[in-house]
Structure 1
Amino acid sequence: MEDLLARHRKEQKDLQARITQKKKSATKKTRRGINDECDRLQRDLSERHQAEIAELNGETNEPLVNKLDDLSVNGNDLDGEKQVSETAQDGEPRAAESPATHSSQSSSSTSSTQTKKPNRQKARLARRAAEQAAQAAQAEEEASKQTDHRGNEKEVMEGVFKRLKLKEVDINPDGHCLFSAVACQLEEIGLGLKPDANRIVLQPSTISRMDTVVSPRHDGYRAVRAVTADFIMEHKDDFEAFMEEPLEQYTRKIKLTAEWGGQLELQAIARAYGVVINVIQGDGRIEKIEPGETDGIHDEEEKRKRVVWLAYYRHTYGLGEHYNALTTQA
């Protein structure tokens, strides 16, 4: 049993490592499929482990064994059948049993009934519960030794914020976080939500959405989403090759749904608004997205101002990937 449990622990640890690696490599497009696959792998391993433990304990066909036990303990019907006109092996009728003999047999049957065998099913269940408790304790111990990705990510990020004198602005994790964080930053640096007309021609529906924005912090994401979709549609040759679905369907999701934003959207935002986007990663790296040509912007102070800072989390938030805005501390 110890060898089997040791192998089970090793297989569980190996599977956890595989699951962690799969989830790290997931993108927003493949996350749901990978999560389903990881759940299936965990379920299959748990079922196989339980089956192997049951086989080692000799628990196969348990319901049939219990039924046979019940028959052997409560076999009154069988005894009644045996008492119906039995004959000896030589064909002669058996002698009738005397009252004393019958009384003795009845006493013996009563004694046998009163001293039932131990309930083997209860014993097996208790043993199985003890083994499962031991496995849970082992899993908890192994989990405590695993890397605290959430804690490490937060610690590294806060160190970078302090070094660069940045202050984090919490954004609601609702699927719009990337666009909300950008809207917050555009307002912070004084650019506003409407991009330069020389960089992009906005659709009438986009202009209408901008006019209905209450505040950049509250629902500014609506305007940024529409500008992003328009820019991608207008420069489809630069983006279409990286999409996993038709261009019209992709841009419609960006504009009208809570579809998460990623690398393509960051590129479109940087170019549409003519800003540099610095994204601080959980490992301390800073990814820089350039706006391309900045026609008409010659003043160096203006260029330094047109910088958007974002914090990108992979582990800290329960719903998955998340962006917060970052502002310079006074």
Structure 2
Amino acid sequence: MSAPELAITIPAASETLDEILARHRKESRDLVATVTSLKKSATKGEKRKKKEVHAKCEQMERDLKARHESELAVANNTGSHDIPNTKDGHVTEEELEDEISPDKLLEQLALDVSTPADPEPAPREQQQPQKKGPKKNRQKDRLARKKAAIDQMTAEAALEAEKIPDLRKIELENIKALTDKLGLIQYDIVPDGHCLFAALSDQLRLRHNITTSVTELRRKAAAHIRGDPGTFAPFLFDEATLGLRDLNAYCAELENTAIWGGDMEILALSKEYDCPVSVVMSGRARLQMNDAGNRPELWLAYYKHSYGLGEHYNSLRDKAEMVEKEE
């Protein structure tokens, strides 16, 4: 699933420690807003999606924590004399305690409890003032500052999260409106990397009376692509290398792994089965492959924001047929 991206600030070489710590606090707030939005997208009853969202949130927390620790370590090693509140250009122990890392903040948010202050010592007879008193007061002050910072960041993150649109909700509503107009209803396919081929298998069974498996569809798509490199090679452009991937290597991966299918595989199978294939999606016109096909049209729905693993395809069945079966 696509989710709101966390904005990452590239640290400037001239940043002072105060600027680094301020940026860390802002990035922690942004992370909380992002995590809040992701958790909103995991609705009740979707255990798989909740698990995926929580795993993604934990990874984002770990990544941000690691980067913050690395930047503080660099600041220690390269500190300048104009950095305030440091000793010899190094971060003091008290400053590190005051810094609120993403995992500490999110742990506080998850528990939803305040950090308890140290209890007052029980009065004793003839108790004399001790030198440890001022140190305990400083500890209480630090705890109070942390709690105040957490409360402020929580409130700011909640406000920012409210401004983030619920892309999953928007996408589902748009696709439902489109399928209602077409007299179609969505049939859920397991989001496991094979979803495109499983959705096409469902469509072939319903509209062509053909029973086939995901493995067979992968094999047929790969064979068709190998047989027509002039048509399909442009689909294999690699933005990282600015070149084309090896077509035979890609086809071997398509046949033997759970690599996701897309437009290229839809086009190949639409020609293999001599039929149009239409894909309904949110915010874009319906995509139709091989409109010159002679056999009954197959219908799919494409999702970009609604599933935790990312892009997904469902099968679209005729609503009238589904109503008759229910009756």
TM-score (norm 2): 0.58
Task: Say which SS state the counterpart of residue 117 (structure 1) adopts.
Answer: helix
Match of 1:125 in 2: 143
Distance between the aligned counterparts of 1:124 and 1:16, measured in 2? 25
Question: Match for 2:130: what amino acid?
Answer: T
Distance between the aligned counterparts of 2:218 and 2:169, measured in 1? 31
Shift in Å, 1:157:
0.8
Deviations 1:11-60 (A, max 9, x none): 9669989xx9xxxxxxxxxxxxxx9xx95997279839x979xx888894
Match of 1:224 in 2: 217
Gaps of 5+ in 1: 21-34, 67-109, 193-214, 295-302
Q: CA, structure 1 residues 63+317, in 2 after alignment: closer, same or farther (shift >3 Å)?
A: closer
Which of 317, 321, 324 is 2:307 aligned to? 317
Which of 151, 174, 186 is 2:204 aligned to? 186
Structure 1 residues 152-231: aligned runs within 5 Å: 152-190=170-208, 192=210, 216=212, 220-231=213-224
Q: CA, structure 1 residues 7+252, in 2 after alignment: closer, same or farther (shift >3 Å)?
A: closer
Task: Say which SS state the counterpart of residue 223 (structure 1) adopts.
Answer: helix
Residues 1:43 and 2:36 are matched in the alignment? no
Structure with bigger RCO (C-alpha 8 Å, 6+ apart): 2
Which of 133, 140, 157 is 1:116 aligned to? 133
Question: Match for 1:185: what amino acid?
Answer: Q
Distance between the aligned counterparts of 1:42 and 1:238, measured in 2? 41
Q: CA, structure 1 residues 56+290, in 2 after alignment: closer, same or farther (shift >3 Å)?
A: farther
Shift in Å, 1:153:
0.6
Question: Match for 2:227: what amino acid?
Answer: E
Task: Check the 8 A contact 2:189/2:199 in 1, yes or no.
Answer: yes
Match of 2:296 in 1: 306
Shift in Å, 1:114:
6.2
Larger Cα Rg: Structure 1 or Structure 2?
1
Match of 2:92 in 1: 61
Which of 214, 229, 233 is 1:236 aligned to? 229
Distance between the aligned counterparts of 2:300 and 2:95, measured in 1? 64
Distance between the aligned counterparts of 2:135 and 2:200, measured in 1? 70
Match of 1:329 in 2: 319
TM-score (norm 1): 0.58
- Corresponding pairs, count: 230
RMSD of aligned residue pairs (Cα, Å): 4.2
Q: CA, structure 1 residues 137+6, in 2 after alignment: closer, same or farther (shift >3 Å)?
A: farther
